[in-house]
């Protein structure tokens, strides 16, 4: 099968791939990143670490790279928690793959992305989070390696408000 036979067209709906990783210590604390104030998106908000999947890169490879680039950590165990499709209302949407990183090694290193801090789930939910994390973080923390992943769909209503739905 050639690349031309894949049915790729600028007229079709396309998804931009991203990864979102939540490093978790054995004590249950979650590493979150407070976005630098000069960031284009989520400046000043707490989020997991992650970013775009680069051309030629696998989803798992992107998760490992982003984890290391943004935190200095590596994970001996990456648990796939779920996938979320974001309908932006345009011809291009977003798809992001959510991971929990366990059995961490390395030294925490600051990056230009923002400030890193460890939190309990209870304290994390009191922070100024990216809006979907109030729902997403408990889902991630409940996820076990042998569990079924969640499947999310986000869209924006007529007032520009995020509407989320999840299935497993």
Tell me, what DSSP letter sits at residue 111? B
pLDDT less than 50: residues of the chain: none
**Burial of 53 per CB tally in 10 Å (0-12, 13-18, 19+):** buried
Q: Is residue 103 part of a domain?
A: yes
Q: Is residue 1 part of a domain?
A: no
pLDDT score, position 36: 87
Q: Is residue 148 part of a domain?
A: yes
Per DSSP, the three-state class of 44 is coil
CATH classification of the domain holding 112: 3.90.79.10
**Burial of 129 per CB tally in 10 Å (0-12, 13-18, 19+):** buried
Q: What is the tally of structural domains in the chain? A: 1
Structure tokens at 150: 């969640």
**Burial of 145 per CB tally in 10 Å (0-12, 13-18, 19+):** exposed
Mean pLDDT computed over every residue of the chain = 94
pLDDT in tens, 62-85: 999 999 999 999 999 999 999 999
Rg (CA), the chain: 16
Q: Show the domain range for 86.
A: 15-167
Q: Is residue 44 part of a domain?
A: yes
pLDDT score, position 1: 65
pLDDT score, position 32: 98
Q: Is residue 95 part of a domain?
A: yes
Q: Is residue 86 part of a domain?
A: yes
Q: Is residue 2 part of a domain?
A: no
Q: Is residue 23 part of a domain?
A: yes
């Amino acid at each position: 099968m050639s690349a031309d036979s894949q049915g790729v067209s600028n007229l079709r709906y396309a998804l931009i791939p991203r990864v979102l990783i939540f490093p978790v210590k054995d004590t249950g604390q979650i590493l979150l990143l407070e976005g630098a104030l000069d960031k284009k998106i989520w400046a000043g908000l707490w989020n997991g670490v992650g970013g775009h999947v680069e051309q030629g890169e696998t989803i798992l490879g992107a998760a490992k790279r982003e984890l290391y680039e943004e935190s200095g950590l590596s994970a001996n165990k990456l648990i796939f928690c779920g996938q979320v499709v974001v309908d932006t209302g345009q011809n291009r949407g977003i798809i992001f793959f959510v991971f929990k990183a366990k059995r961490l090694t390395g030294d925490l290193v600051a990056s230009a992305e923002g400030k890193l801090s460890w939190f309990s789930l209870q304290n994390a939910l009191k922070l100024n989070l990216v809006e979907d994390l109030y729902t997403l973080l408990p889902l991630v923390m409940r996820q076990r390696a042998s569990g079924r992943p969640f499947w999310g769909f986000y869209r924006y209503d007529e007032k520009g408000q995020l509407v989320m739905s999840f299935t497993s």
